[in-house]
Structure 1
Amino acid sequence: MEVDFLLIGQGLAGTVLSHRLIQKGHSVHLIDDGDPNSSSKIAAGLYNPVTGRNLVKTWQADALFKEIEVFYREMEVLLNKKFVHPVGIYRPFVSYEEQNEWVAKSADPQFNDYIDQVFSQPRNQGVKDPFGGLLLKSTGYIDTRELVNGFSEWIKERNLLTTCVMSEKDLVQTQEGHWQFKDILAKKIVFANGIQARNNSFFDWIPFIPVKGEILTVKQDFFSSEIINRGVFRIDMGQGVGKVGSTYNNSEVNLSPTDAGKIEILDKLGQLIDREVIEILDHQVGIRPGIRDRLPVLGKHPSKDNVYLFGGFGAKGVSFMPYLSDQMVKLMVWGEEPHKEVNINRFFKYI
C-alpha cells in the first residue's frame, strides 16, 4: 500500500491532522496503539479564548476561534456523531478590583467576540460568586472520546488504520527518502502520538513535559446551563452529574488515580459550588503532552528527510488543532513555515 502520509498516533492530534489531509485530497494511513487511557479519550475538551490566572486572550485567539466550531461540525457531519457542545463559561470574580477590570475590558473591541456579559452582583444559582462574574461566549467543549472513537471507526471501515505498538526499528527509509512500515510505503511520516513522540531518536530532544491530570465525575444537587470555571471547571452533564477537573502534576506522572488529586479537586469545587458532592461516580487520569514554553510544536525534522512532528498541545489541543493542522498541511505540502512561536526550529539548539 502506498500513501502520501503515514501518521503515528490516532489521538486527537492524529485524528484532526489526518482529517485535514483527507479534506485536501491526500492519502493517509494511521498507526495507533489503541490505548484506552490516552489523554485524548479522557480530556474535558474545553475551548475557551480567555484563560489563565490573569485571564488573558489565548495565543492567536482570533484566528483559532474562527476555526473551532466550523471544523468540528464538519467532522460531526462526516462521522454522523454529536460531539460539539457550545456552552457559555461563567467565571466568578474574586474581588471588586477584578470586577472593575472586566467592566473596563468589556468596552474593548478586542473582546467583543468573547464577552457575553459582566455581572456585578451574585447570580444566586448555587455558584459562590459574591463579586459577580464574567460570562464568556464562543466557548464550550468537544467530547473528544466520541470524536476520536468515531473517527477510528470511520478509518477502520476504509482500511486506513493499523492498531499495533510501533517500534522505531520497524521504520525503514528507502533510497528515495520514503518510509516503509511493514507493507505500507509513505512519502512522509508524521509523529502525532503525544508524549510518546519523545521515545524515539527522531524527537527525543524536544523538551516535552508530561503533565498528569485527574478528573472526577460527581453527583450533586446542582444544575447549570454553563460551564463554571475558577480553580477547577465543572461541566454539567445533566441529571445532577458534573465532570470536574483538572489537576496539573508533572512530578508524579503515571496513570494511577490519587487521593491527593481527588481531595484537591473536591476542595476547589467546594470553593466554587455551594452544593455538597453526593457521590463520586468516576475518577479518571490522563497524561497531557506539554512543552516547556506551553505552546505546541510542529515542523520538519532538521536532518531526516520527510519526517515531521505535530504535538505538544497540552490542555489546549481542542482549541489549537483545527487552525494549526491547516498550517501543518501547508508546511508539508507547500513548504510554508508555521508561526515562529510554534515552529519546531525554536528547539533546534537542543539537538
Structure 2
Amino acid sequence: MLVDYILVGQGLAGSILANHLINAGCSVMVFDDPLLSNSSKIAGGLYNPVTGRKMVKTWNVDNLFGYLTDYYPKFQQQLEADFVNDIPIYRPFISPEELNEWMGKSADIDYSSYVKAVHNSSAYGNQVNDDFGGILLNQSGFVDTGKLLDASRIFLEKKKSLTQTYFNPADLKLNEGFASYQGIKCKSVIFCNGHKSLEQQYFGWMPLRPVKGELLMIKTEEDLRVIHNRGVFVIPLGNGICKVGSTYDHQNLDENPTIEAKNVLVHKLNELVKFPYEIEYQLAGVRPATKDRKPIIGQHPEFKNLISFNGFGTKGVSLIPYYAMQLTQLLTEAGSIDDEVNIERFFSLY
C-alpha cells in the first residue's frame, strides 16, 4: 500500500493535520490506538485571544485567530458535524486599576478587534463576582473536542484512512527518500502523539514538559450565555451542564482524578460564581506542553522522513490549525515553519 503520509495519533493535532493534508490532495493513513489515552478528548477546547493572569494577547494571536475563525466553521461543515461554539468570554476585573487599564487598551488598535465591550460596573452580577466590571471578548469560544474527534474518525474511516491500532516504532523502516511500516510505504511519518513521543526512540530527546490537567463537569439551573473566565473557566455546554477547569500539575502525570485538584477547582469556582451547582464528575488528562510553551514542528535532525507535529499544550485549539496549514505548505509547496516553533531550535539536544 502506498500513501503520501502516515500520521501517528488521531487527537486534535492528528485530526486537523490529516484534514489539511487531505484537502491539499495528499493521501494519509492515521494510526490511533483507542486504548491509549488522548488528552484531546477531555480538553477545555477554549480559543481565547486574551489570556493569563496579566490578561495579555495570546502569543501570535493575529495570525492564529485570523486563520482559525475561518477554518473551524469550514472544517465542521466538511465533517457534517457541529462542534464549534462562537461565544463571548467574560473576564471580571479584580481592581479599579485593571478596569482603567482596559479602558485604555480597548481603544488600542492591537486589542480593539478582540474586545466586544468593557464594563465599568457589574454586568453579570447575578452569576459571578464582578464588582469592578469586566471585559467581554469576541473572536472567542470553544470547540467541543470530543465531537470533533468522533466526526474526524468517521470521516477518516469513510476514506479508509484510519487504522485503529498501536503504532509500533520497532516495525518502522527508514530508507532514503521514503519510509515503510507494516507494508505501507510513505514519504514521511508524522508523529502527532503528544507526550507519548517521550517514550519513543526517535523523538524522546525533545524537551516536552507534560502537564496533567483536571476538569469538573457541573450542572446548574443558571442560564449562562457567556464563558466566565477568572481563575477557572466555566464553559456552558447546554442543558445546564458546564465544564470547569483547569489545573496544572507537572509532577503527577497519571490520568487519575485527584481530590486535591477537585478541591482547588471548587475553591476557585466558588470565588468566581454566585449560582448554585452540583458536581457531576471529574476528568483528568496529560497535555503535551513544552518548556518554552511553543509547539515543536519539523523534520528529525537525522531521519528526515520523520516529522514532529507536537507540543501544543493547553492552547492546542488555537495553535493547531495555523501550524497544520504551515506544515502542509512545507510538505506540498516548499513553504516554511516559523522559527519560534521550528524543531531546529532544539537540535543541540539531540
TM exceeding 0.5: yes
Q: Does the residue aligned with 1:209 lie in a helix, a strand or coil?
A: coil
Q: Does the residue aligned with 2:202 lie in a helix, a strand or coil?
A: coil
State which drifts further: 11-20 or 201-210: 201-210
Q: Quick one: percent identity of the two aligned structures? A: 41
Change (3 A) 1:89 1:36: farther
Paired with 1:181 and 1:161, the residues of 2 have a C-alpha distance of 14
- Give the match for residue 117 of structure 1: 117
Instruction: Report the alpha carbon displacement of residue 325 of structure 1 after superposing the two structures with TM.
Output: 0.7
Instruction: Report the alpha carbon displacement of residue 36 of structure 1 after superposing the two structures with TM.
Output: 6.8
- Give the match for residue 264 of structure 1: 264
Q: Does the residue aligned with 1:290 lie in a helix, a strand or coil?
A: coil
Which letter does structure 2 place at the counterpart of 1:263? N
The 5-angstrom pairing of residues 223-238 of structure 1 reads 223-238=223-238
The 5-angstrom pairing of residues 97-246 of structure 1 reads 97-123=97-123, 124-174=125-175, 176-246=176-246
Contact 2:218 2:242 in 1 (8 A): yes
Which letter does structure 1 place at the counterpart of 2:314? A
Paired with 1:237 and 1:263, the residues of 2 have a C-alpha distance of 22
The answer on 1:273 being equivalent to 2:273 is: yes
Structure 1: unaligned runs, 5 residues or longer: none
Instruction: Report the alpha carbon displacement of residue 305 of structure 1 after superposing the two structures with TM.
Output: 2.5
Paired with 1:15 and 1:310, the residues of 2 have a C-alpha distance of 12
Paired with 1:200 and 1:240, the residues of 2 have a C-alpha distance of 42
Change (3 A) 1:36 1:191: closer
- Give the match for residue 316 of structure 1: 315
Paired with 1:171 and 1:135, the residues of 2 have a C-alpha distance of 50
Instruction: Report the alpha carbon displacement of residue 333 of structure 1 after superposing the two structures with TM.
Output: 2.8
Change (3 A) 1:53 1:32: same
State which drifts further: 197-206 or 314-323: 197-206
State which drifts further: 326-335 or 227-236: 326-335
Q: Does the residue aligned with 1:250 lie in a helix, a strand or coil?
A: coil
Q: Does the residue aligned with 2:4 lie in a helix, a strand or coil?
A: strand
Q: Does the residue aligned with 1:203 lie in a helix, a strand or coil?
A: coil
- Give the match for residue 326 of structure 2: 327
- Give the match for residue 298 of structure 2: 299
Instruction: Report the alpha carbon displacement of residue 317 of structure 1 after superposing the two structures with TM.
Output: 0.6
Contact 1:171 1:181 in 2 (8 A): yes
The answer on 1:251 being equivalent to 2:244 is: no
Paired with 2:187 and 2:78, the residues of 1 have a C-alpha distance of 26
Change (3 A) 1:342 1:249: same
Instruction: Report the alpha carbon displacement of residue 122 of structure 1 after superposing the two structures with TM.
Output: 1.0
Change (3 A) 1:72 1:142: same
Instruction: Report the alpha carbon displacement of residue 37 of structure 1 after superposing the two structures with TM.
Output: 4.0
Paired with 1:245 and 1:37, the residues of 2 have a C-alpha distance of 19
The answer on 1:15 being equivalent to 2:18 is: no
State which drifts further: 284-293 or 159-168: 159-168
Q: Does the residue aligned with 1:130 lie in a helix, a strand or coil?
A: coil
State which drifts further: 29-38 or 267-276: 29-38
Which letter does structure 2 place at the counterpart of 1:249? D
Structure 2: unaligned runs, 5 residues or longer: none
Q: Does the residue aligned with 2:30 lie in a helix, a strand or coil?
A: strand
Runs of 4+ in 1 over 4 A off after TM superposition: none
Which letter does structure 1 place at the counterpart of 2:45? G
Q: Does the residue aligned with 2:14 lie in a helix, a strand or coil?
A: helix
Instruction: Report the alpha carbon displacement of residue 335 of structure 1 after superposing the two structures with TM.
Output: 3.8
Which letter does structure 2 place at the counterpart of 1:343? N
Contact 2:220 2:241 in 1 (8 A): yes
Instruction: Report the alpha carbon displacement of residue 2 of structure 1 after superposing the two structures with TM.
Output: 0.3
Contact 2:105 2:112 in 1 (8 A): no
Aligned length: 349
Paired with 1:269 and 1:58, the residues of 2 have a C-alpha distance of 23
* Alpha-carbon displacement from aligned partner over 1:58-105 (angstroms, at most 9, x marks no partner): 111111111113211112111111000000000000111111000010
The answer on 1:49 being equivalent to 2:49 is: yes
Which letter does structure 2 place at the counterpart of 1:223? D
Instruction: Report the alpha carbon displacement of residue 183 of structure 1 after superposing the two structures with TM.
Output: 2.0
TM-score norm. by structure 1 comes to 0.97
Q: Does the residue aligned with 1:129 lie in a helix, a strand or coil?
A: coil
Contact 1:69 1:84 in 2 (8 A): no
Paired with 1:300 and 1:50, the residues of 2 have a C-alpha distance of 31
TM-score norm. by structure 2 comes to 0.97
Contact 2:126 2:275 in 1 (8 A): no
Paired with 1:335 and 1:8, the residues of 2 have a C-alpha distance of 23
* Alpha-carbon displacement from aligned partner over 1:292-324 (angstroms, at most 9, x marks no partner): 000111011111121110010001111111111
Q: Does the residue aligned with 1:44 lie in a helix, a strand or coil?
A: coil
